Amino acid sequence: MPGFEMFGDLERQEVNDVLNTGVLMRYGFDGMRQGHWKAKELESELQKQLNVKHVQVVNSGTSAVTMALAVAGVGAGDEVIMPCFTFVASFEAIMMLGAIPILVDIDDTLTLDIKAVEAAITSKTKAIMPVHMCGSMADLDALKAICDEHKLLLIEDACQAIGGTYKGKALGTYGDVGCFSFDYVKTVTCGEGGAVVTNNDDYHKNADHYSDHGHDHVGYDRGAEEHPFLGYNFRISELNAAVGLAQARRLPEFLEIQKKNYTILREALETIPQVHFRIVPDGGEESYAFLNFFLPDLEAARQAMTALKSAGIDGCFHYYDNNWHYVRKWDHLKQLKTLHPLSKELEAGLSYLKTKSFDQSDLYIGRNISCLIKMSWTEEQVHERAEKMKTAIASLF
């Protein structure tokens, strides 16, 4: 991660196919495009790679999260339980639909704490949305049992976790609907792009229509198509899909490189007694896009970040002090700073954030360091990095 490190002739060939025809839109212009349908090919490739029945590619991961919720019927006034450690797009997508994000604590998986989820369920709860941050997952069996008991939807935000698996299933395909991001810094990139995945025929039909202004895509005359329901423009372009197609075909290669580099770094840090690693639930295998570990306390983590930077190690993140990924710095959400008025229901539903504390999550995020695993490193560079990281962190103790 990220896939842009691996751009080459395969990506250029797919893009040139599009440029040579001049057809940049994924729908229509059949005669001009000379048989090239990059978005459709990308959907087919992802169906094969993820072993899922349906894929709808869209223009961003944020669009994908929004659509994953919308196609399953989540909307105004519904509550969606989600973790307080994620990317801001997760709660933005919920709010776009008029639904209410209910943020709850995480545990040492760096994902949803099961007890916190159970405690957050109300009569308004419509869905639970685990976010597979940094390439790994929550206890999906436990979440599925809760959803079955309370008749809730399980929506997987797998935007950071393509290639990870849980009990033999690709992350994103375990729940009712899943979604991925293919932005510029993801393992598979389109530049900008995303995907909604599901094994549910109705949800897929909804996604197909909803992403394109409600077009039903029946027949060959776009102007004559019916609109069974309202939709929006979340279409991906053929240029973006072309890049993603080349990258998706290389996913097994990318995952192998990530795992190799991850393993070298982890084995070096395992020699330090004060370092402990995130928990991956039984039956799960992360995507190896990030190496996440815990230090004894907040101060040690901050000191480790300083030591790593002094050693010339970049690409490591301390999310406790990060503006994008953890609730502690989301003042714009807590204070509801928007350009347009929110519904009174949504305002009231989010008022809890003004006083709610996330002490348990603070303990985990405060002690956590997350290191990006690059695919462009040579083996010599990875071993050199491992030694520098080990020396820098061990020097603190």
Q: Please report the pLDDT score of residue 294 as a whole number.
A: 98
Q: Please report the pLDDT score of residue 386 as a whole number.
A: 98
Q: Please report the pLDDT score of residue 104 as a whole number.
A: 98
CB 100, CB 90: distance < 8 Å? no
- For residue 278, pLDDT beyond 90: yes
Q: Please report the pLDDT score of residue 352 as a whole number.
A: 98
Q: Are strands 79-83 and 100-104 parallel, antiparallel or unpaired?
A: parallel
- 157 DSSP 8-state letter: E
pTM of the model: 0.97
Mean pLDDT of the chain: 97
Question: pLDDT tens for residues 334-370?
Answer: 999 999 999 999 999 999 999 999 999 999 999 999 9
Q: How confident is the model at residue 103 (pLDDT cuts 50, 70, 90)?
A: very high
Question: How confident is the model over 124-142, as a mean pLDDT?
Answer: 98
- For residue 391, pLDDT beyond 90: yes
CB 46, CB 195: distance < 8 Å? yes
Question: pLDDT tens for residues 8-53?
Answer: 999 999 999 999 999 999 999 999 999 999 999 999 999 999 999 9
Q: Measure CA 377 to chain center.
A: 24
- Domains delineated in the chain: 3-250 (3.40.640.10), 253-394 (3.90.1150.10)
* Total residues found in the chain within this entry: 397
Q: Please report the pLDDT score of residue 107 as a whole number.
A: 98
Question: pLDDT tens for residues 232-247?
Answer: 999 999 999 999 999 9
| Helix (H/G/I), strand (E/B), else coil: 139 | coil
- For residue 1, pLDDT beyond 90: no
